[in-house]
Amino acid sequence: MSEKLFKVIIIGDPTVGKTSFVQRYVQDSFKRDYKGTVGVDFALKIIKWSENQTVKLQLWDIAGQERFAWMTRVYFKDANGCVIMFDLNNKNSFLNTLKWKKDVESKCTLPDGSPIPCMLLANKCDAPAREVEQMEIEDFYKENNFIGWTETSAKSGIMVHDSMRFLVETMLRQSDGCKIETNDNSFNLKSTAPEKSSCGC
């Protein structure tokens, strides 16, 4: 039985839904450890990946400290993967994902020097007041070396597990020594079947 532990950081503008997403994802084995003095919430998700593989995900939720640059180095240290989230109904939060991506690139790399895998998540797809078009996101994720993107709804549970599964798959491949080519191999999740189709997005 082999066990892998990955640190995954969840970043993006305030109120895009990061905490809701983490809670939705981990609720079945939820362990909200503590609100750390550095202003981070940790959650642990244990996944029985296969007969002989367990994956432990330590999810770092920035917990309202998004505006404080002083904590970011600690936050990014030794991260294996990253989720950058925006709110589909808030254009500014989409534009700011570029800033978040650059921040990740400047502050952390994998031991071999390559960038950590980043998923781009377009949250609140259940809400009607959409301000960002799919084509725009599609072009943006390709240009900026995300491993994939998808619409999600932390509220309805849409694509929450699928998006994280894709990130875990990528981290597992990378930890086995495979190089990840973000543009050639990237997987666009937006067209795959949502976990629940209650909101038509």
Binding site for Mg ion (CB under 5 A): 18-19
Question: Strand, coil or helix: what is 55?
Answer: strand
- Annotate 127-192 with DSSP letters as a single string: SS---S-HHHHHHHHHHTT-SEEEE-BTTTTBTHHHHHHHHHHHHHHHHTTPPP-HHHH---GGGS
Among 8, 9, 17, 166, binds ligand GDP (CB under 6 A): 17
Q: Is 183 in the site for ligand GDP (CB under 6 A)?
A: no
The number of beta carbons lying within 10 Å of the beta carbon of residue 112 is 8
Q: Which stretch binds ligand GDP (CB under 6 A): 35-43, 48-56, 91-99, 152-160?
A: 152-160
CB closer to ligand GDP out of 63 and 172: 63
Cβ closest to Mg ion, residue 7 vs residue 18:
18
> Is 16 an interacting residue with respect to ligand GDP (CB under 6 A)?
yes
> Which part of the chain contacts ligand GDP (CB under 6 A), choosing from 11-19, 28-36, 95-103, 189-197?
11-19
- The CB-of-83 to ligand GDP minimum distance in angstroms stands at 11
Binding test (CB under 6 A) with ligand GDP, winner from 4, 91, 107, 155: 155
For residue 97, what is the enclosing H or E element? helix 97-107
Q: Does 14 bind ligand GDP (CB under 6 A)?
A: yes
Q: Which is nearer to Mg ion, 18 or 124 (CB)?
A: 18
Q: Tokens 């991506």 map to which residue? A: 101
124 binding ligand GDP? (CB under 6 A): yes
What does the block give as tokens for 185?
Answer: 């191999």
The entry of ligand GDP, Mg ion, none near residue 14 (CB within 5 to 8 angstroms by kind) is ligand GDP
Asked if residue 93 binds ligand GDP (CB under 6 A), the reply is: no
Residues 6+ apart with CB under 8 A from 71: 38, 39, 40, 65
The whole-angstrom distance between residue 199's C-alpha and the CA centroid of its chain comes to 21
- Selection from ligand GDP, Mg ion, none that 7 binds (CB < 5 to 8 A by kind) is none
Residue with tokens 């939720």: 61
Total length of the chain: 201
* Residues binding ligand GDP (CB under 6 A): 14-20, 123-124, 126-127, 153-155
